[in-house]
Amino acid sequence: MLDFDIPRFIGIQAGAVALADRLDATIGGLLDSGARNIFFLGAGGAAILMQPAVHLLRTKSTFPVFHENAAELIAGGSRHLGPGSIVVIPSLSGTTKESIETLAYCKERGATVLTLVGHAATPLGEGGDHVFVNFAEDDTSSESFYIQSLAIALSIMARRGESSAFTAFVDEAKRLPEALVAVKQGFEAEAEAFAERIRNEPYHIITAAGSAWPQAFYYGMCILEEMQWIRTRPVHASDFFHGTLELLEPGVSLIVLKGEDEYRPLADRVEAFAGEHTDKLTVFDTASVDLPGIGPEVRALISPVVLATMLERVSTHLAAKRDHPLTTRRYYRRIAY
């Protein structure tokens, strides 16, 4: 595979899975101490990667969960944030300016802060009340953050008697790193072909629903826009028919991401419509991949993990074919803003 280190990838994802038990113990202690709600905060892509866990809690648990824009939280506050609040802040670098400010803001208000970072010797790596470190880099961080945040959500639900999925998730996720490598290997030719097909495409609509939606949003904003300077329009599949459908015509690229949860029919509807109206429809479907030893319930939970691992191969080939490294920036961390 192009520019892919298998042992490094397996080590990073196994590291994320290995944090699950300590995350569970920490959540258990906080719940026993009277925790009353949880906030998933952060900035940019890392914050987006928390959304499947947030959605899981919103729909399957009665434990209050909040997913706020960190900058807006600091500007406007929240009456729900304070003593008894669990705050989760992810940051791969551990140095994200907005996340550092969020950390200080939340601690000043008496919240207990869990930081998920890739590097310990950083402001977020040293400033959290409970710090979880798993080294990763841009091409491996999505899976890692998805796994950690899902472990947090499932731990809350298990300890409240709302779900028994935590144990299965941890047990089956131990098989996930090697399974994801096999997914990448099986997808490599398709990824390269898709990258070749879109290398000069100026614009994409990208859509999904359920747990797959955050990956569509993330891939459009953080990869195609930030790392490749390609204009995109991420739109939730349930909103597609309330405006965006009017942009569809021959020559317009539409990317549909499909997971395996109960929201899959929303993406199916977009796919069926788009097939009649554009010749540039591409569907990435987690149901098409083999994940030995991972059952339907966990497969539905990890759909965004699988999509992230598939799309990483697209990104790698796209960067090579466009001669545009994924690390190239004009503004981000280059100038003051």
154: closest CA among 83, 55, 87? 55
Distance CA 203, CA 197 (A): 13
pTM (whole model) above 0.95? yes
176: closest CA among 139, 210, 148? 148
Question: Residue 336: pLDDT above 90?
Answer: no
Domain parsing of the chain, residue ranges: 6-173, 187-322
Helix, strand, coil % in the chain, rounded to nearest 5: 55, 15, 35
Domains 6-173 and 187-322 share a fold: yes
The pLDDT of residue 206 is 98
Q: How confident is the model at residue 337 (pLDDT cuts 50, 70, 90)?
A: confident
Give residues with Cβ within 8 angstroms of 6, minimum separation 6: 181
Q: What is the average per-residue pLDDT within 110-139? A: 97
Give me 175's structure tokens: 């098989």
Give residues with Cβ within 8 angstroms of 320, minimum separation 6: 2, 3, 195
> What CATH number does the domain located at 6-173 have?
3.40.50.10490
DSSP-based three-state secondary structure for 89:
strand
The pLDDT of residue 9 is 98
Q: What is the average per-residue pLDDT within 25-32? A: 98
- 228-269 pLDDT, tens digit per residue, is 999 999 999 999 999 999 999 999 999 999 999 999 999 999
> What CATH number does the domain located at 187-322 have?
3.40.50.10490
Q: What is the sign of the dihedral through the CA atoms of 91, 96, 102 and 106?
A: positive
The pLDDT of residue 249 is 98
Q: What is the average per-residue pLDDT within 201-211? A: 98
On whether the CB atoms of residues 232 and 205 are closer than 8 A, the answer is yes
Q: What is the average per-residue pLDDT within 36-60? A: 97
Cα three-residue angle 147-117-233, rounded to 5 degrees: 65
The pLDDT of residue 175 is 97
Distance CA 177, CA 165 (A): 19
- 210-233 pLDDT, tens digit per residue, is 999 999 999 999 999 999 999 999
Buried/exposed code over 147-174 (b: 16+ C-beta within 10 A; e: otherwise): bbbbbbbbbbbbbeeebebbebbbebbe
Residue 77 CB coordination number (10 Å): 12
The pLDDT of residue 100 is 97
Share of the chain above pLDDT 90, in %: 99
CA atoms within 13 A on the CB side of 22: 14
